Structure 1
Amino acid sequence: MKHLIPNPRLLVLPLALAVVPLLSQAQSADRKTSIGLNVSALQYKGNYGSDYWNFSSNRYAPGLAINQYITKGLDLSLQGFYGELKGSQSASTYFATNLVNVNLGIKLKLNNGWALKEDAFIQPYLMAMPGWTYTSREGFYRGGRIDQDKSYFDIAAGAGINFRLGETVNLFVQTAQHAPSYANFDGDQTRDDNGWDDKFLQHTVGLNFNLGKAKDEDMDGVPDRKDKCPGTPTGVKVDENGCPIDTDKDGVADYQDQCPTEAGKPELQGCPDRDNDGVADKDDACPDTPGKPELKGCPDADNDGVIDQNDKCPNTPAGVKVDASGCPLDTDGDGVPDYQDRCPNRPGPASNRGCPEIKAEAKKRLQEATKYINFEFNKAVLLPSSYPTLDAIVQILNEYPDYTLSIAGHTDSKGSDPYNLRLSHDRAASARTYMLSKGIPDARIESRGYGETKPIADNATDAGRALNRRVDFDLYLTGDPNSAEVKYGPEPTMPDIVIPTTPAKKATPAKKPTTTKKAPVRKATPRR
């Protein structure tokens, strides 16, 4: 029987062109199974002679291979081909034998990481590939028919080189020696005892294509085995190592980089900061001068919240409230800034620390008030004649809310010192109690007594003693030292003496006149 074998080169080329676009990577630890298409040149050696390495006598055979990755150094390869061997000694002695050959081989790869990297371009290997050979022989031996179909155990070994053409396909060349046990390809009946009379060489060239898909948990197109940045978010562009693209090489991946084309700082999401003030240049209104984040990167030397370039008062003390131009607030517009103004809501001259000055008329009434404050004899009980004067002082306090009133009580030298000291204290307190009853806040009136310690006249005369028996009234800016203490010093310690007094609520104030008139000057009633 005669089997026609088509030209194998016409089969391999269209198959390769059809398969290549469907595959993505060459066989590797990631894609462990591959299919190979190949064509072999078969060279016979037997009783008719040897065609080994005589490429003019080649018999071509198409073939297929299935390869399975085992380790870096080992593959398992199932190979098969269909071909024909021919030979002739004379017109009456010749043969034509068709072969179907299948081998299961162990491939020892030399690109196992010792001498060559696993993904090296040139990848040499050795193979041990036992198998099965089926022969279908036709021919004549010395004029007699020698047709026979028979199978043999094939002992084969080979070597080859794989060329890594990229990430899609490998090209390989391989030569293998096949020695089927006791095979008789040529029909010659004269056989050697060793059983190796007929054998053949197989020179193969082909393409291997990988099947399957590499494990890629983050779906970035880089297999986990090679991925140096596992867990990359879905959709992020990565490099060949599986790491997110970093165009400006600043250590911040483009998908996290707010300035992907300018090298910057990680803490600023990859944006540059020329003045190193912690504000990215894109957000910095003063990119070349260090400043504060809350002021868009602009400086504020006096820390008043107004940037230096807009600050008309650049040296404002710390903590002072300022206006939009950086100048201290002046609420009452008196030219004294609030932080220096003792009365920020009422205008006054700088000489009086921004507070209204007490008018001369008010000062005079306070000075003269001492003449019209009278008490019952040897008591701290106010006489009703004192009420108009105290009411006038209440009016002054209401006109000057930024001031505090100091009341200081004094006596003449008659009587014991402790008694006089207590009497002066209680009389000053009695005047204070009256004015508090008129609605003046407690904190705005202070009273104290000095007894006979601060005379203003000679106690040896009645006139002098009358002048020394007095109650002084002085206004001073709230917060300043007490005016009585400034004039007379601290109040002496009060003795444990009870001075008769009457609560202010029992006193009936005199009615105020309908018109403002000064009280008539009268001689003060002598009092003790």
Structure 2
Amino acid sequence: MKQLKLAVMALLTFATVGTVSAQDSDNPWVVGFGVNAVDFRIPTKFGDYAKDYIGTSDWNVLPSISRVTVDKYLNDGFTLQLAGSLNKIETFRTEDDMDELYWAIDANVKYDLNNLFGDTAWFDPYVYLGGGYANLGDNGEGTLNAGVGFNTWFNDNLGLNFQTGGKKEFADKVQDHFQHSIGLVFKFGGKDTDGDGIYDKEDACPEVAGLKEFNGCPDADGDGVKDSDDACPDVAGLAALNGCPDTDGDGIADKDDACPNAKGTKAMNGCPDADGDGVADNKDKCPQVAGPAANGGCPWPDTDKDGVLDKDDKCPQVPGVASNNGCPEVVIIEEAVKKLNDFARAIYFNSGRSSFRPGVSGKLDLIAGIMTEYPKANFSIEGHTDSSGRASTNMRLSDKRAKAVLDYLVSKGIAASRLTSAGFGEDYPIASNKTRAGRAQNRRVEIKVKK
């Protein structure tokens, strides 16, 4: 008895220095082999329980492997334990008052207390509750089991187990008793195909050895980006660039950088643009002077110095104005403009339509004649309505009427490039829409000279 008590004390001491991990879903199976002690001499006074429970003088121990267990991890810290034990009872009520064979089969559900206190890895305490069948001599009956225990793991598979608890009988055939056990336990069942120490069920790359921080996946170049997410898995790079290097530090990965050794911009595919003209220096014929890409990065010439580049200047040898595409400003006399709008006010349309009333074509011909006299002038044709009806309908109608005037003038030889048309609906009245006369004035076409 003294040796067993010393062994239990040594085990409790060792539990403070063990390592490795508890039974879990990675290693769901544990088998154990050890010895058990049975204590039938339970005191009648409650105050003597602790003294009797700790004392070993009345323990019955069979000096051989006398207890075998099989544990299966279930889920959320719960484990099912099946146990079989054998013993020889010599102390029942008093020392050496019996010589009977004892055996028991138990099924207990264990709960790992690390789920409440936090995982200590090496120390695996638990409580258990279950039932079983105990037999003493010629008598046997069912029991209710409850107690505590712990496993202390030496490595990934081997550990020591200590368990202690009580068994409550139901039929007065076998007295209530305590049972304690100590033994070796072996856990197994986890599969680690690539041998990286991470079980396949938790390993995102079970066929390739990897690192724990990457769930078992490798990082060949050691840049902190796992290979499956690394666009450059064989060259150390930056996490911000998916594991690719950036030699010139411009924030563009070398593989995407047209100028990997010269700091540039993303817009230039990693190349510099010294003059900021949108043409990369390696393609810019004038890298220090801003110019358009169409001219190789060089500025366009302006031969007549009128501020309109030759490429846009329709009169490149004669100074002009931008509003007239670089040509001299078109001057049209006010009298001609007045005639245009007098004739335009005489353009009448059929009600609700964009077709002309009879006799309108003569006015349109006069308008075309004035436009012909000023071939360099451009004109805008604007359609307007009164406020009768829906605004959206008026807008569409005014647009169609202005377009009808434009189409007629084009049919009379006026270049379409000189004309634009637009409808403004009822938005710009020139008279009150509350009177018939005012509404008549608001239904109009206006022609303006474009500056």
- TM-score after normalising by structure 2: 0.44
Higher helix fraction: Structure 1 or Structure 2? 2
Quick check: which has more Rg, 1 or 2? 1
